[in-house]
Amino acid sequence: MSGKKSGPAWEAALMGMLFAMAMALSFAESMLPVLPMLPPGFKLGLSNIITMYALFMLGTKKGLTIAVLKSFFVLLTRAPMAAFMSLCGGLLSVCCMALASRIKPLEKDYMLLSVFGALAHNFGQLLASVAYTSTVMFYYLPVLVVSGIIMGIITGVVLRAVMPYINKLRLS
């Protein structure tokens, strides 16, 4: 065995590990009790940490791949509507963070990029719900903005904290 840390097989294995971590985080988050004082739809978005890692460290294509795989997992574990919302939110989020990360002052500000991504994710899900139900629910936008900012800050901070450990996957 050559110990080569690149190539198609290595990338497939790394993406598999990242996807497994995203699924585990999503599953763990679904097991947390809903706090009664939180509005409906308020989620931590822990699996988005893995999507952000894939985007920032492996590139836009890998970030989009993780977002699509996560949506497929949602389809298998929840419902088509949830998967559609996950897909719309995830793709818009990755695209928004990818574009924002090309602005020099923002390129390594993971917390701010995470907030942009969380806001885009929530907006994408809102647009998906409008497309799916034909009901305009923009009255809920202020709640989604506040939750996006809070969760974006949290996931950005957590990404910064766990990034050295995830990087070990790439190096070991």
- For the chain, give the percent of residues with pLDDT over 90: 53
**What is the rounded CA–CA span in Å between residue 55 and residue 63?**
4
Region 73-82: mean pLDDT is: 90
Residue closest to 63 by CA, chosen among 15, 101, 100: 15
Residue 123's identity, in one-letter code, is: F
Q: State the CATH number of the domain containing residue 95.
A: 1.10.1760.20
- Is the residue at 1 inside a domain? no
Residue 26: which domain range? Answer: 8-171
Question: Does residue 80 sit within a domain?
Answer: yes
**Which of 66, 73, 42 has its CA nearest to residue 52?**
66
Which helix H or strand E contains 104, and what residues bound it? none
Is 148 domain-assigned?
A: yes
Asked, for residue 87, whether it belongs to a domain, the answer is yes
91-150: per-residue pLDDT in tens?
999 999 999 999 988 888 999 999 999 999 999 998 998 888 888 777 888 888 998 999
pTM passes above 0.85: yes
First-to-last alpha carbon distance for the chain, in angstroms, is: 14
Q: How many domains does the chain have?
A: 1
Domain assignment present for 89: yes
DSSP state of 139: G
